[in-house]
């Protein structure tokens, strides 16, 4: 088998334009590590075939010669070949049923699977991620959506000058546009009917930091959860200030035994003992940016039943939900599916429990694009590759025929090896219970 490294073209989504390694990173690996690359030809990738050719890679229609293949998103069943090593975001670690056929196929073929999401350090902190760019694009999109939704309600605001993120040629261009809007708000303020404008952000990781980076381009004042509930009803607030609240785990959930104080360690280890208390904050928010990790063990932030109760009292303050986590029927239950870049938002009507795509209709607008970093494809690919490039050599030169215990891989990569020669490694044996789904 050859030592060619393959870079696969992305085909899961029409507007997926990212690459795991950019031409400049490929050139560096060819020149300094003496590695050989074959890049699968793509007409839509943000980096052209010619850019990769100029970097020293081969460009071909298939990757049959490659024994290690890098991608971004999931790969189709007929793409996998026996005994090869694949590195991509597999989205299987929660037992996602829609990806179990893919995992079974890789097991049948004796493949090795390394998942970027599980390349972590000793503190379980991710080392390779697109999260910041999901936050950046998600906040840009949510401000754009806010402007359009407020226009539907009859309000002309500076947010109308913000476009969906993928319409900008670069992150810098997008930031410049948001900064101009921030200046307009600082100078002229916002309509009194929508004041105080409050942005709630769940989580404080990379996604949240990206969201806050864009928020910081506007006249933002951060307040505590305690101060949040005091804002409504005040008439002395300046019209040119937007308020931001960061919600941590202790604000979202409480122990079912009211006499027990919140304990973060216990929350993560015994989430079944906790219940949501987030609903107390929702009526005070204009925009909710959902940036936190969630799985089915944890309480929801917003249930359909709560939204029905909230909406039955009249039009709520909450106008836009930017659900960057994009867990279908998850922490924000009205996000019943992820959206695509070309059709990014829908209005959820809590009374009819129906969605209407676009900005019009009764309800709350939900922005839930599943591949937000691809709206900033050049910048996000570059940032991702900066982290990935240092892992390529050990991935390529590992002898995967050896027993798992003897594999010469850094700990962070070994932890990310979900399949070894088609077998679930010890840490991922729990996935057996999902494989029948």
User: Do 366 and 296 share a structural domain?
Assistant: yes
Whole-number pLDDT of residue 226: 92
User: Do 161 and 62 share a structural domain?
Assistant: no
User: Do 96 and 28 share a structural domain?
Assistant: yes
Query: Region 335-339: what's the mean pLDDT?
Result: 93
User: Do 401 and 346 share a structural domain?
Assistant: no
The pair of structure tokens assigned to 187 is 């100078």
Whole-number pLDDT of residue 437: 58
User: Do 417 and 363 share a structural domain?
Assistant: no
Where do the H-state alpha helices sit in 289-420?
Answer: 304-312, 377-388, 392-397, 411-415
Query: Region 289-307: what's the mean pLDDT?
Result: 94
User: Do 201 and 92 share a structural domain?
Assistant: no
Query: Region 52-60: what's the mean pLDDT?
Result: 98
User: Do 12 and 75 share a structural domain?
Assistant: yes
User: Do 428 and 414 share a structural domain?
Assistant: yes
User: Do 399 and 370 share a structural domain?
Assistant: no
Dump pLDDT digits (tens) for 220-241. Answer: 999 999 999 888 777 789 999 9
Domain boundary among 375, 392, 422: 375
Task: Output the domain CATH number for residue 115.
Answer: 3.40.50.720
Q: Is the pLDDT of residue 1 over 70?
A: no
User: Do 255 and 299 share a structural domain?
Assistant: yes
Q: Is the pLDDT of residue 148 over 50?
A: yes
Query: Number of C-alpha atoms within 13 angstroms, CB side, residue 260?
Result: 13
Element (H, E) at 88: strand 85-88
Better-predicted residue by pLDDT, 103 or 3: 103
Q: List, as own/partner pairs, every contact residues 173-179 make where C-beta atoms lie below 8 angstroms and the sequence separation is at least 24, other chains included.
A: 174/136, 174/140, 174/376, 175/214, 175/217, 178/140, 178/143, 178/214, 178/217, 178/218, 179/217
Domain boundary among 332, 360, 375: 375
- Report pTM: 0.92
**Cα separation, 372 vs 139, whole angstroms:** 10
Query: Region 176-187: what's the mean pLDDT?
Result: 98
**Using an 8 Å Cβ cutoff, are 213 and 136 in contact?**
yes
Whole-number pLDDT of residue 216: 98
Q: Is the pLDDT of residue 55 over 60?
A: yes
Whole-number pLDDT of residue 2: 55
User: Do 393 and 254 share a structural domain?
Assistant: no
Dump pLDDT digits (tens) for 362-388. Answer: 999 999 999 999 999 999 999 999 999
**Cα separation, 4 vs 69, whole angstroms:** 9
Q: What is the mean pLDDT of the chain?
A: 95
Whole-number pLDDT of residue 233: 72
Strands annotated E in 189-328: 198-202, 220-222, 242-247, 253-255, 274-276, 287-290, 320-323
Domain boundary among 375, 399, 419: 375
Q: Tokens 């944890």 sit at which residue? A: 298
User: Do 329 and 187 share a structural domain?
Assistant: yes
**Cα separation, 376 vs 378, whole angstroms:** 6
**What total number of domains does the chain contain?**
2
Residue range of the domain that includes 55: 4-129+379-434
């Amino acid at each position: 088998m050859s030592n060619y490294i393959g870079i696969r073209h992305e085909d899961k989504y029409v507007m997926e334009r990212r690459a795991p390694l950019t031409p400049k990173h490929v050139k560096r690996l060819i020149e300094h590590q003496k590695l050989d690359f074959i890049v699968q030809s793509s007409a839509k990738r943000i980096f052209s075939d010619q850019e990769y050719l100029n970097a020293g890679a081969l460009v071909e229609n298939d990757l049959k010669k490659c024994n290690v293949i890098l991608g971004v998103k999931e790969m189709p069943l007929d793409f996998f070949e026996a005994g090869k090593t694949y590195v991509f975001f597999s989205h299987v670690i929660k037992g996602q049923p829609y990806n179990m056929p893919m995992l079974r196929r890789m097991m049948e073929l004796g493949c090795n699977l390394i998942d970027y999401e599980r390349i972590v350090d000793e503190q379980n902190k991710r080392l390779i991620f697109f999260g910041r760019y999901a936050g950046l694009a998600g906040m840009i999109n949510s401000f754009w959506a806010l402007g359009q939704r407020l226009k539907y309600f009859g309000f002309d605001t500076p947010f109308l000058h913000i476009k969906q993120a993928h319409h900008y040629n670069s992150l810098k261009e997008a930031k410049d546009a948001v900064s101009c809007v921030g200046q307009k708000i600082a100078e002229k303020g916002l309509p009194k009917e929508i004041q105080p404008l409050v942005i709630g952000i769940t989580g404080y990781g990379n996604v949240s930091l990206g969201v806050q980076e864009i928020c910081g381009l506007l006249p933002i004042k951060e307040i505590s959860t305690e101060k949040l509930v005091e804002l409504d009803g005040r008439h002395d607030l300046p019209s040119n200030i937007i308020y931001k609240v960061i919600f941590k785990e202790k604000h979202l959930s409480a122990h079912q035994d009211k006499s027990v104080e919140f304990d973060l360690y216990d929350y993560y280890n015994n989430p079944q003992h906790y219940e949501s208390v987030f609903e107390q904050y929702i009526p005070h928010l204009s925009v909710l940016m959902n940036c936190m990790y969630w799985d089915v063990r944890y309480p929801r932030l917003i249930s359909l039943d709560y939204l029905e109760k909230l909406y039955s009292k009249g039009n709520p303050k909450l106008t836009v939900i930017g659900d960057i986590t994009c867990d279908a029927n998850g922490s924000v239950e009205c996000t019943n599916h992820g959206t695509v870049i070309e059709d990014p938002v829908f209005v959820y009507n809590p009374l009819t429990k129906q969605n209407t795509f676009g900005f019009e209709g009764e309800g709350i607008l939900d922005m839930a694009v599943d591949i937000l970093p691809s709206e900033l494809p050049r910048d996000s690919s570059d940032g991702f590759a900066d982290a990935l490039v240092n892992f390529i050599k050990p991935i390529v030169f590992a002898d995967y025929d050896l027993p798992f215990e003897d594999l010469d891989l850094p700990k962070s990569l070994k932890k990310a090896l979900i399949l070894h020669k088609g077998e679930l490694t010890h840490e991922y044996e729990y996935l057996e219970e999902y494989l029948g789904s």
